[in-house]
Chains A and B, each alone.
Chain A
Amino acid sequence: DAGVTQSPTHLIKTRGQHVTLRCSPISGHKSVSWYQQVLGQGPQFIFQYYEKEERGRGNFPDRFSARQFPNYSSELNVNALLLGDSALYLCASSPAYTEAFFGQGTRLTVV
Chain B
Amino acid sequence: DQQVKQNSPSLSVQEGRISILNCDYTNSMFDYFLWYKKYPAEGPTFLISISSIKDKNEDGRFTVFLNKSAKHLSLHIVPSQPGDSAVYFCAASRGPRDNDMRFGAGTRLTVKP
Interface residues of A (CB under 8 A from B): 4, 31, 33, 35, 40-45, 48, 55-56, 58, 90, 92, 94, 96-105
Chain A proximity mask over B1-17: 1 for CB below 8 Å, otherwise 0 = 00010100000000000
Given A40-B105, A58-B100, A96-B97, are A104 and B43 also a contact pair (CB < 8 Å)?
yes
Given A42-B4, A48-B99, A97-B97, are A102 and B45 also a contact pair (CB < 8 Å)?
yes
Please measure, in the bound complex, the distance between the C-alpha atom of A101 and the C-alpha atom of B36, giving whole angstroms.
Answer: 10
Please measure, in the bound complex, the distance between the C-alpha atom of A33 and the C-alpha atom of B101, giving whole angstroms.
Answer: 10
Least CB distance from A107 to B in Å reads 9
Interface residues of B (CB under 8 A from A): 4, 6, 34, 36, 41-46, 49, 89, 91, 96-106
Please measure, in the bound complex, the distance between the C-alpha atom of A103 and the C-alpha atom of B36, giving whole angstroms.
Answer: 13
Q: Indicate if the CB atoms of A31 and B99 lie closer than 8 Å.
A: yes
A-B contact pairs, 20 of them (CB 8 A): A31-B97, A31-B99, A33-B100, A35-B103, A42-B6, A42-B91, A42-B103, A42-B104, A43-B101, A48-B99, A56-B100, A92-B99, A94-B97, A94-B99, A97-B96, A98-B96, A99-B96, A101-B46, A104-B42, A105-B43
Beyond A48-B98, A90-B44, A99-B46, list 17 extra A-B contacts (CB 8 Å). Answer: A4-B43, A33-B99, A35-B103, A41-B105, A42-B4, A42-B103, A43-B101, A45-B100, A48-B100, A90-B43, A92-B99, A94-B97, A96-B97, A97-B97, A100-B99, A102-B43, A104-B42
Please measure, in the bound complex, the distance between the C-alpha atom of A98 and the C-alpha atom of B89, giving whole angstroms.
Answer: 17
Please measure, in the bound complex, the distance between the C-alpha atom of A40 and the C-alpha atom of B38, giving whole angstroms.
Answer: 13
B34 surroundings in chain A (CB, below 8 A): 99
A56 surroundings in chain B (CB, below 8 A): 98-100
A55 surroundings in chain B (CB, below 8 A): 99
Given A42-B89, A92-B99, are A100 and B46 also a contact pair (CB < 8 Å)?
yes
B99 surroundings in chain A (CB, below 8 A): 31, 33, 45, 48, 55-56, 92, 94, 100
A58 surroundings in chain B (CB, below 8 A): 100
Among residues of B, the one whose C-beta sits closest to the C-beta of A92 is B99
Least CB distance from B95 to A in Å reads 9
